[in-house]
Amino acid sequence: MSQIALLANTAGTLFMVGLIWFVQRVHYPLLAQVGVEYQISVGHEHQRRTSQVVGLPMAVEGVSTLVLLIERPDQVFAWLPWAGAFLLAISLGSTVFLSVPLHQKMISHPSSQIGQNLVATNWPRTVSWTLRGVICLVMCVQAIN
């Protein structure tokens, strides 16, 4: 079971790593260019479409992270799943407390500054998911040795 959880965790995390870098380097900078008059409609579409893309990978990542905290492959250092869980907490906390409120503000009180704020406040998610990806790969290498 722990091997399957590790593979699922790695797959979900690496998907999110690729996605968050796309968001950081492409999507949010483009949102920063959306005129105030279009932010409400773009904001609604962003939320609808994003939830369709991230729902399953984030659920897989979350559940498999919990499984690894309870049952990890024997060869994997005990602290690695905990470090991964901590980084996931940073990613999800940044999402809930930084990104989601800014997206809501884009819909409720459009302003030319929101896009730049999204780019700036997305760095904690980008860094934490990237580090999670490294940790997952290290755990996979340890599990096969």
The residue ranges of every structural domain in the chain are 2-144
C-alpha 18/C-alpha 22 separation (Å) is 6
Considering the segment(s) 2-144 as one domain, its CATH architecture is Up-down Bundle (1.20)
Asked whether the predicted pLDDT for residue 21 surpasses 90, the reply is: yes
DSSP H or E segment with residue 6? helix 2-22
Q: What pLDDT is attached to residue 28?
A: 95
DSSP conformational letter for 35:
-
Q: What pLDDT is attached to residue 145?
A: 84
Contact status, residue 42 vs residue 111, Cβ threshold 8 Å: no
Average pLDDT over residues 4-16: 98
Q: What pLDDT is attached to residue 1?
A: 85
Which residue is it, tokens 């990237």? 130
Residues 6 or more apart in contact with residue 32 via CB below 8 angstroms: 114, 115, 116, 118, 119
- Encode pLDDT of 116-141 as tens digits: 999 999 999 999 999 999 999 999 99
Comparing CA positions, the residue from 99, 129, 95 lying closest to residue 115 is 99
Q: What pLDDT is attached to residue 129?
A: 98
CA 112 to chain centre: 25
